[in-house]
Chains A and B, each alone.
Chain A
Amino acid sequence: MTAPDTLTPVLTATWADERSWTLDSYTASGGYEGLRRALTMSPDDVIAEVKDSGLRGRGGAGFPTGMKWGFIPQDNPKPKYLVVNADESEPGTCKDVPLMMASPHTLVEGVIISCFAIRAHTAFIYIRGEVLHVVRRVQAAVAEAYAAGHLGRDIHGSGFDLDVVVHAGAGAYICGEETALLEGLEGRRGQPRLRPPFPAVAGLYASPTVINNVESIASVPSIVRHGAAWFASMGTEKSKGFGIFSLSGHVTRPGQYEAPLGITLRELIGLAGGIREGHELKFWTPGGSSTPLLTAEHLDLPLDFEGMAAAGTMLGTRAIQLFDETTCVVRAVLRWTEFYKHESCGKCTPCREGTWWLVQTLAALERGQGSEADLDLLLDQCDNILGRSFCALGDGATSPITSSIRFFREEYLAHLTHGGCPFDAARSTAWAGQEALA
């Protein structure tokens, strides 16, 4: 089907190695080479290298990573901090957890190089609290790195000191939002902060702070090791490099596919063995539930920041959730909306009250209650939430609703005429068709 060289395994290259998560295994495949090279460079040169590579944040928004590092005021006498965002809670997003499980040292090495670049002497890795196994694995990797002299005082004689703290979150999607994360890290209630001041100026403990996604930081060692040009040779003009695409749902081989940005969904589905046998793609999210969903019409769009924006959606975290024709879009959207209602931090009115209301309106529609006017009401509610909320969680809550009504208005109406959901929910499950075997 599709040529195997579409994949560009860098971050995922060693995942299948024997005990890939150990320092020995990592070092055997060239791990910590990037660090050695970085320590021979000046911090500013490391920042320049990352800038030149064109790396953009892998946490969803795609902000240029080198530029973010450049915002750190080096004349500020306060300590500087690096905070790694490993809260990974967006529905569908499942790249950081496997990365940290399979190759935690890629992250640790990235942390050391990044801290060296921004001149931070303390870094925090904030891992979502529910994944204790990941917390343990990263803790173990950090301990190994200390033992090997990659962390601690005067790292490899460079004079550079660094301590890394692995912090377990307490379980809230909102703590992935960077300022809420900082609040949580400081021991307070996880709610987003007012900006300005931006974290680069007054972040953790009111000190200059860089917050980056796990995958962003994990991409740094390879950039330093192989050079900015190598990285920039992959991907598209404004979306350079590779990224992990997490395919889940109605696909034959769900999983992590590391490929250059700009790959199309058609190619990815090919790599994953196609939509599950006997079915066809109905709708999909490009980057988690907060990114407006697309349909089979959009199979050939480039999966990069620009391509997705042009289609009215976002690349997000490349969490591609695939749904075939057995899935009721109203049902899927209601489930997502329930998630947002559950995770709304409560700080601002539109998101707190809006999600409460959206769920009720959607649930009624799913039961076949209400009227066509409720669709316009839903759109109006979304209009009153989107861009009116305090943070992007509220915005994200509207994405599934507005995009699904855009593409599947008829299906909503079918619920009303049918007096309930016209779908057989069992048919969309992973075990559909296997009942007889049970």
Chain B
Amino acid sequence: MSDVEQRTDLVSVTIDGIQVSVPRDTLVIRAAEQVGVQIPRFCDHPLLAPVGACRQCLVDVPDAGNGRGFPKPQASCTLPVAEGMVVQTQATSEVADKAQQGVMEFLLVNHPLDCPVCDKGGECPLQNQAMSNGRGESRFAGSGSGGVKRTFPKPINLSPQVLLDRERCIVCQRCTRFAEEIPGDPFIALVERGAQQQIGIAEDAPFLSYFSGNTIQICPVGALTSESYRFRSRPFDLVSSPSVAEHDACGAAIRVDHRRGKVMRRLAGNDPEVNEEWITDKDRFAFTYATQPDRITYPRVRDRVEDGGDGSLRPASWPEAFAVAARGLAAAGACAVLPGGRVTAEDAYAYAKLARVSLGTNDVDFRARPLSAEEESFLAGHVVLTGPGDGGVTYADLERASSVVLVGLEPEEEAGTLFLRLRKASRRGLRVVSIAPFATRGLRKLSGTLVQTVPGREPGALRELLGHADHGIDSRAVVLLGERLATVPGAYTAAAELAARTGARLAWVPRRAGDRGALEAGCLPSLLPGGRPVADAAARVDAATSWGVESVPETPGRDADAIVAALLTGEVGGLVVGGVDPDDTADPDATRRAVEAARFVVALELRETEVTRAADVVFPVTPVVGKAGTFVTWEGRPRPFEAVLAEAGALPDLRVLSGIAEELARLGRGAPLGFRTVAEVRAEMAEIGPWDGERATFAPMSALDTPSTDDPLTTAGGAPGSVLATWKQLLDDGAMQAGDKHLAATARPAVARVPRTVLDALGPVVTLTGDRGSVTLPAEAADLPDGVVWVPTRSSGRGVLADLASPGARVTVKGAEL
């Protein structure tokens, strides 16, 4: 809701003698904050529906606005303001103060008061408010024959990651309300009654939610803890630094708590525009990847056999590594750059500039996954340079939309923050339509409608949405396009068409944190930084002028697939590669062979991988926690962050690249990059700015190139087998989840989903065979159309692309035994 809408409806109330105007329906507890009075509270949470359970927030209301007062104290967290209402809080009313002290004393009756060994001690709302609004000593222990507290055996695992110490719980229901209201995962529930009332695991269902960690954070006592942080540190020993989550394109604000150079935990930051106060468990717990034993901590160069060496990688100094890398690239002939999708925008800019200024090529592509030329054209024509206030769809826009169409996107798995915002909106009436092969649990939680679609048939489904009155696609609708659509020819074209006809707005939701920033920074063969089209001479001149070079290459570059092909044919000889896992790419085998075939490979990596093992020079790069940077959200919103820790032994990608560029310049190849620090890159990016000339236009696929909208099952030339549907699960075998086994244990298991008839016919284990191999997985029934199977992309083996087949390809399904 905009400020303007709210202000039109103000209500004036008097709180502790101070008059204040607040929007209608404001709760007294929050109106009091406006006059600077903090009413103590436990169950109240601004993002959860009020319950009035703990009774800590009682206030006196001598006048409810109608001249009459309430005879007894009222819970200020459930009482909306009324015109003329008079409220007296603990600050001015003895009744309110006594009521609050009384409730606080009651809360401590059964609380163990084990603050000295409790994780929450030092940041505990119960501890703090017992001090500020309670009596110093409870009378419980001294009363009768000495108070006997209720005890429980401790603790219980609500999930592999979340633990509950029941005796500390004050049953405020924040955790259960969160689970039910926010992600819609009601796996924990109140059980028993009276003082025995406790949080329990809902019948037969462990707390398997991608968002479970939020309950730990909002628990007002130390009842909920995580396996990974429990007993590890005291809040007052921690330094807290704000940052941005690096696991998806959502840009969630996080708080990183660290002690003596080590991250101890991560919490959700509070950003109403983006993640509100929630983050995924991946954003919260997946940070140990940066401290794995296979971290690369010094540069390595290969003593190449052709130069008389033994062919092994050996430690090298930074200057030597820069020099060796530059010499190798200079000698390798044509070079290409594959930065990967996890880079910060500043690092991406350095990759983009290195390609153009030092290596003289447009062969640069951040897409380390299946891609298409149609996608690239769509990104250039419809996505780059959009952002909040600039035509870009925002989180808040989703709440205002009439309907949201998901195409090639499973938000719960691929963009958790986005999922939560969609759920919030859907609970308030937003219509969600998903073009997908089956109704996922995520879609059910969005009360969404499935437009059941065989993979590959999305363009037809999009076209059929036009004219489909029930789905109400109009100018208030938003269509969210997942990066997977690159594997569906004609999908972006159909989406653009739908938007053009209806006025619906489009947004592209990539999976990786760095993708959108890399697009803006020019890591595409057809785009220079700031959305400057390579094909546009004026844009090239503009970039060259900003960079102080004579020209930038005008030949359109190769995309990642073409780079791989050119490395294999020898047309391209040198490769600068960032965090790329061959198993994520369209053809893992080809990518792997291309790295082998390249004449010279310079790898920038965090940890050892098969790429670094094959590279000629390896540079250790700083993980996100150790450097400043910017991620750009799927909305196009820049999310800058500063370094949290000082990292030794590694440098940010941009510093490595500038070191290589300086050496290349010394060899007469190109110019130095002109920066060495993040601050310098930021300044340069600001200076070069967005392209203000004509933007690239999307080249839709012609109807000829677009496969028929008929069901591929009947028109694919009778090819045998089932169509393969696949996407990644939030928690899987991804490299950046390494090191937290408790988190890993909450991942959804790898299962093949098949139509019920197939499950009945083949039994509970199936073997799928495609052109790249076979995988055997437990099978589960889903409401899939006949002839479609689904498997998670990277939850077993080396993943679907390496072990099985391409998305949308045919696979055979047979019964098997595990």
The chain A residues found within 8 Å of chain B, CB to CB, are 172, 174, 189, 191, 194, 341-350, 352-357, 360-365, 367, 369-370, 374, 377, 380-381, 383-385, 387-390
Contact = CB atoms under 8 A, between A and B. Distances in A.
Interface in B166-186: 170-171
Contacts of B189: 189
A385 B99 CA distance: 9
B102 interface: yes
Given A194-B51, A384-B98, A350 B106 contact: yes
B109 A350 contact: no
B214 to A, nearest CB: 22
23 contacts: A189-B189, A341-B195, A343-B194, A345-B193, A346-B190, A347-B171, A348-B55, A349-B107, A349-B170, A352-B194, A352-B197, A354-B109, A360-B147, A362-B144, A364-B143, A365-B144, A367-B145, A374-B143, A377-B143, A384-B105, A388-B55, A388-B72, A390-B53
A384 B100 CA distance: 9
Contacts, number: 120
Nearest to B197: A346
Given A384-B98, A387-B73, A354 B106 contact: yes
Given A370-B143, A390-B55, 15 more contacts: A174-B193, A341-B195, A344-B195, A345-B194, A346-B171, A346-B196, A348-B52, A348-B55, A350-B55, A353-B109, A357-B147, A369-B144, A369-B145, A370-B144, A384-B98
Contacts of B170: 349
Contacts of A344: 193-195
B54 interface: yes
A357 B140 contact: yes
Given A360-B144, A384-B103, A384-B105, A348 B54 contact: yes
A390 B52 contact: yes
Interface string B52-63: 111110100000
B107 A353 contact: yes
Given A194-B50, A350-B106, A388-B99, A363 B55 contact: no
A35 to B, nearest CB: 40
B308 interface: no
B262 interface: no
Given A348-B55, A370-B145, A356 B195 contact: yes
B53 A347 contact: yes
B157 interface: no
Contact of A360 (B103, B107, B143): B143
A390 to B, nearest CB: 6
Name B's interface SS.
loop
* Leading 5 A-B pairs by shortest Cβ distance: A384-B102, A346-B197, A364-B144, A387-B72, A353-B106
A388 B101 CA distance: 11
Name A's interface SS.
helix
B468 to A, nearest CB: 27
Contacts of A345: 193-194, 197
B150 interface: yes
A364 B102 contact: no
B666 to A, nearest CB: 73
Nearest to A360: B144
Nearest to B51: A194
A353 to B, nearest CB: 4
Given A349-B107, A367-B145, A388-B102, A356 B150 contact: yes
Contacts of B106: 349-350, 352-354, 357, 384
Nearest to B72: A387
Contact of B195 (A346, A364, A383): A346
Task: Report the interface size class on chain B.
Answer: 35 or more
Contacts of B105: 384
B50 A346 contact: no
A379 to B, nearest CB: 12
A364 B109 CA distance: 16
Contacts of B139: 377
B148 interface: yes
B194 A355 contact: yes
Interface string B132-162: 0000000110011101101000000000000
Nearest to A365: B144
Contacts of A342: 194
B193 A346 contact: yes
B307 interface: no
Contacts of B53: 347-349, 390
Most buried by A among B99, B144, B145: B144
A189 B147 contact: no
B136 to A, nearest CB: 16
Contacts of A390: 52-53, 55
B67 interface: no
B110 interface: yes
B192 interface: yes
Most buried by A among B56, B71, B102: B102
A419 to B, nearest CB: 13
B78 interface: yes
Contacts of B55: 348-350, 388-390
A357 B168 CA distance: 17
A353 B103 CA distance: 9
Nearest to B138: A357
Contacts of A194: 50-52, 78
A383 B52 contact: no
A364 B196 CA distance: 21
A209 to B, nearest CB: 20
A189 B192 CA distance: 10
B194 A357 contact: no
B54 A349 contact: yes
B144 A353 contact: no
Interface in B601-626: none
A191 B171 CA distance: 13
B427 to A, nearest CB: 15
Interface string B75-111: 0001000000000000000000011001101110110
Contacts of A172: 193
A374 B145 CA distance: 10
Nearest to B110: A353
Contacts of B58: 388
B103 A350 contact: yes
Contacts of B72: 387-388
Nearest to B42: A349
A387 B69 CA distance: 14
Contacts of A369: 144-145
A316 B41 CA distance: 34
A307 to B, nearest CB: 21
A356 B78 CA distance: 26
Contacts of B51: 194
A349 B56 contact: yes
A349 B58 CA distance: 12
A364 B189 CA distance: 35
B399 to A, nearest CB: 23
A309 B181 CA distance: 43
Contacts of B98: 383-384
Most buried by A among B73, B99, B106, B197: B106
A321 to B, nearest CB: 23
A289 B214 CA distance: 43
Most buried by B among A346, A349, A363, A384: A349
A358 to B, nearest CB: 10
Contacts of A349: 53-56, 103, 106-107, 170
Contacts of B194: 341-346, 352, 355-356
B190 A189 contact: yes
B181 to A, nearest CB: 14
A365 B144 CA distance: 7
A356 B109 CA distance: 8
Given A363-B144, A369-B145, A388 B197 contact: no
A345 B103 CA distance: 17
A172 B194 CA distance: 11
A136 B605 CA distance: 74
A389 B54 CA distance: 9
